[in-house]
Amino acid sequence: MKTYDVAIAGGGVVGCAVAWYLAHFSLDVLLLEKREDVCCGVSKANTGILHSRSYVTPGTLKGELHLRSLSWFSQAFQELGLKPLRCGALTLAFSKEEAQHLKVLQEQGKIEGASILSPKEVLALEPRLNPKVYAGYFDPETMVISPFAVTIALAECAALNGVTMHFEKEVVFVEASWDHLLIHCASGERYAAKFFVNCAGIGAPQLAQNIGDVIPPLCFFRGQYFVLDRECQGFVSHVLYPVPTEESKGILVSPTPEGNILLGPNFEPVSYENTATTIQGLEEVEKGARKLVPEIPLDKVIATFSGVRPALPKRDFYVAFSLRLPSVLHLAGIESPGLTACFGIAEYVGELLGKRGLPLREKKNFQSRVPPLVFRECSLEERERLIAEDPDWGKIVCRCEEVTLAEVKRALRSSPPARTLDGLKRRTRVFAGRCQGGFCGMHLPGILERECGLSSSDIRKSGPGSFYVLRKGEVAPDAKVC
Amino acid sequence: MPKFVEAEVVVIGGGPAGMAAALSAWEYGMRKIFLLERNAHLGGILNQCIHPGFGLHIFGEELTGPEYAERYMEALGRTGVEVLTDTTVLEVHKDRAVVAVNRGGIWIFHPQAVVFAMGCRERTRGMIRLPGTRPAGIFTAGCAQYLVNVEGYLPGKRVVILGSGDIGLIMARRLTLEGVKVEAVVEIRPTLSGLLRNYVQCLQDFHIPLLLSHTVFEVLGQERVEGVLVGEVDAKGKPKGRLRHIPCDTLLLSVGLIPEVELLKRAGIPLCSSSGGPFVDEDFACDVPGFFACGNVVAVFDLVDYVTRSAERVGKRISEGLRDEKPPLILVPGKGVAAIVPQRIRERREGFLYVRPKESLRKAKLSLVQQGRELYHVSVPLCRPGEMIHLEISQIPWPKERKEVEVVLEGEKHVDLFSGALYCMSSGMSD
């Protein structure tokens, strides 16, 4: 059995960031993910906002790692081939008391170009804002990015630089065996590694417990969202925050790099990882969004979704070595700003492992990720050239987002590959447009069977049991009903 | 470099509207006509409508969708209309440049006339804010229809249908014939959305329960749909009484259609908020000269026959070229009217006026009113939102004056008789 230098459990944004960071060094790294793809848990459903220094929580580990991460941004985005939307943010106060908080944010951030604005100035920047606004804090540092794009880019860049990834491998137990660790998966496989990093997200406390460590149990705070049609692009042009509370940053209105507008999240405790949307929750989001932008076009909603914040009681990140096995590191409670802080978390994990003896020798041949071409973003000349090279660039499979067959095929071949319809959606934006799969959802299964060599039973939305269609007489695989 | 193509007419969409529009343009002497279709075959939605009921008005016989389409395909085959399939139009510019893509590359057409015939698309889960989880197994009814009738898949084995639109009703029958158990059709409104004949032939004949004034309050299931919570709604759409759990693996949505107008928006064509499509006159010319729209991109028609009839009107007008238009008479929907097509009248001699009622009425009167003065009226014994009323434009005494004309529908509220009668639940349902 091969002994890896480091094994990571969890292919969310944290696990993938750790893998990407460690791929900079001459190490054998293994990533084990319970699900069929990366970015299937908490990482897939959040605002995608890269919070600025004003939103650093002082005196906490999450604040420290958030700050560290910010200094990584330019290098990371260049290596990962990512282009965040550099839109800046406005935090809006609706009373004198709230306005006091804007000063705190400005003081906290000390960001060049940031300023506290009068209602007139705020409305000049965002004319559709609630005219009752009392004051606003403009922060040019805030950016927005697709949370899928970050996690997938981290995974692709890690894989490109030699990280091994195995999917549908849930780590259930780790034990010491002579000079290394033996990692047991639910499916029976075992792997050997010198170090183990528990980035299992919602599953992290249970895994820690199986190893004999104690992490306080997670609390779950659900947040629900609306996604508006791309047609609304430009309706607002900054991230619009209310004044934050102790609990959360509040219900915000935000543009996205893809041109949609995102509304949410609310903040509601739930007893488990419950990602259902509710009538009450969505009404709350609507109310919150209307407080900031009264005329927000809620008739242009194309999707609703919810995500959970896996929080620890202290509302701070937990990063600590196991008390049982000194080469096992646990991470838990990585809630907001986990996406923003991911590079800082990864670097911190690397340092901690280094202190325990992991040799961190930088590779000379680290390769940056070349982002896949996106038909919709290409000029007519580029498109013409692409089609001449490969006619699949001329076959549109998703009319709303103008995704071509070539992009779908590339996503199926990429490493790690899309293995589900959700995986395809997160890589190419099929199913993500205004018809939400009404058009591509009817053509894709046939195309995947005929042109990509899949069989209908391979076509799943997400995990086992999530079959998309059946052939006549076929029994639903792993289905709970029927 | 993209390829530039001179043309007289470019028709976007090869469904019933696009095929009839191209034929009509050919008939009136146009010779450089391109018909652009994004799918591999002409026919549009007709190809997946394998049930009968098409062509009663146009051909006087009952055809299936593919049979109806075939007649137009054959007719096109006898013309010189250039058909490009697997070709998607990406944008249409104000100067009528049409940018399209296919496996041969990028094409930029410069026609004298552009005909929009893209049809409509289905309203989605997000648009109706259906709460619950987001598992596999939620389809729009038309998507499921394509998967079953064209690709030979089944969407699942046990189905609940939300919304009583025509495609939902048709799919209830179709899936039953395929051995799928259809648990119920659930409609939030107190009346049926689709055609009465589809209710009788698709639900009643197959003993499928229709639950009026009911809706789905929650989708259940993590990976695949495992059930839905269904309950009655009050007049404001709020839940009334207990919710019932209906186990199922599939939820079909038949909750309305909306004209596919994205290309028109980019071309700057004025749109009508009540129909969802562009403003058109009786020749289906848009407010911007050189642009035409016909079929379901204008307004969602009940029957394909009306779609064809709308498209057949464009050829003559295209053949007359760009001319100085007289300002038209403007029609607006008034009380009791959800939408009208056309919204502009120019020549006043030919064509039809289609009126979609807002609610079910009996002993109704449809009237045209200008500045408080009634110009014309007809009595309508019974009307329903699912069925358009149509009037011949030549029958109406149009006024000389160009002031706005309001179309008004008044009558006694009508409650569909089966509202209570069909409130029977199948045995598969549990609390």
What ipTM did this prediction achieve? 0.94
CATH 1.10.300.10 fits B3-121+257-319, yes or no: no
Pick the closest to residue B425 from B270, B227, B230 (CA basis).
B230
Task: Tell me if B69 sits within 8 A of B16, measured CB to CB.
Answer: yes
Is the pLDDT assigned to residue B427 strictly greater than 70?
no
Helix (H) and strand (E) counts for chain B?
A: 9, 28
Give the one of A391, A439, A469 whose C-beta lies nearest to B147's C-beta.
Answer: A469
The nearest CA of chain B is from the CA of A365 a distance in Å of: 38
* Domain extents in chain B: 3-121+257-319, 124-255, 332-413
Query: Which CATH number fits the domain B332-413, given the four candidates 2.60.40, 1.10.260, 2.60.60, 3.40.50?
Result: 2.60.40
> How sure is the predictor about B423, in pLDDT bands with cuts at 50, 70 and 90?
very low
The chain A residue lying nearest B220, using CA atoms, is A276
Query: What was the pLDDT predicted at B428?
Result: 37
Chain A residues whose CB is inside 8 A of the B106 CB are: 380, 383-384, 387
Range in A323-327, B148-152, B423-427 with the lowest mean pLDDT: B423-427
Q: Is it true that B3-121+257-319 and B124-255 share their CATH fold?
A: yes
CA dist A209 and B298 (Å) reads 62
The chain B residue lying nearest A386, using CA atoms, is B105
Instruction: Determine whether the interchain pair A381/B1 forms a contact, defined as Cβ–Cβ distance below 8 Å.
Output: yes
Chain B residues whose CB is inside 8 A of the A305 CB are: 134
Chain A residues whose CB is inside 8 A of the B102 CB are: 394-395
Q: What is the pLDDT of residues B36-71, one digit of tens each?
A: 999 999 999 999 999 999 999 999 999 999 999 999
Percent of chain A with pLDDT over 70: 99
Instruction: Determine whether the interchain pair A467/B152 forms a contact, defined as Cβ–Cβ distance below 8 Å.
Output: no
The chain A residue lying nearest B48, using CA atoms, is A442
Task: Tell me if A150 sits within 8 A of A339, measured CB to CB.
Answer: yes
CA dist B376 and B399 (Å) reads 10
Chain B residues whose CB is inside 8 A of the A225 CB are: none
Q: What is the CATH number of domain B124-255?
A: 3.50.50.60
Between strands A164-166 and A135-139, the pairing is unpaired
Q: What is the pLDDT of residues A29-49, one digit of tens each?
A: 999 999 999 999 999 999 999
Alpha helices (H) in A126-263, listed in sequence order: 147-160, 204-211
Contacts of A110 (CB under 8 A, 6+ apart): A53
The nearest CA of chain A is from the CA of B221 a distance in Å of: 9
Q: What is the pLDDT of residues B175-186, one digit of tens each?
A: 999 999 999 999
CA dist A104 and A108 (Å) reads 6
Average pLDDT, chain A: 95
Pick the closest to residue A119 from A141, A97, A95 (CA basis).
A95
Catalytic residue flag (residue A51): yes
**Residue A479 Rama label (left phi>0; alpha psi -120 to 50; beta):** beta
Chain A residues whose CB is inside 8 A of the B2 CB are: 380-381, 384
Pick the closest to residue B147 from B124, B121, B175 (CA basis).
B175
Is the pLDDT assigned to residue B424 strictly greater than 90?
no
Q: What is the pLDDT of residues A287-301, one digit of tens each?
A: 999 999 999 999 999
The residues in A 363-402 lying below 8 A from B, measured between CB atoms, are 380-381, 383-384, 387-388, 391-392, 394-396, 399, 402
Q: Which of A51, A180, A238, A330 is catalytic?
A: A51
CB contact A463 to B (< 8 Å)? yes
Contacts of A133 (CB under 8 A, 6+ apart): A92, A93, A94, A119, A122, A123
Is the pLDDT assigned to residue A7 strictly greater than 50?
yes
Q: What is the pLDDT of residues B77-109, one digit of tens each?
A: 999 999 999 999 999 999 999 999 999 999 999
Is the pLDDT assigned to residue A481 strictly greater than 70?
no
Query: What was the pLDDT predicted at B417?
Result: 54
Altogether, the residues listed in chain B come to a count of 431
Task: Tell me if B233 sits within 8 A of B251, measured CB to CB.
Answer: no
The nearest CA of chain B is from the CA of A480 a distance in Å of: 7
Instruction: Determine whether the interchain pair A482/B134 forms a contact, defined as Cβ–Cβ distance below 8 Å.
Output: no
> How sure is the predictor about A283, in pLDDT bands with cuts at 50, 70 and 90?
very high
> How sure is the predictor about B419, in pLDDT bands with cuts at 50, 70 and 90?
very low
The chain B residue lying nearest A401, using CA atoms, is B90
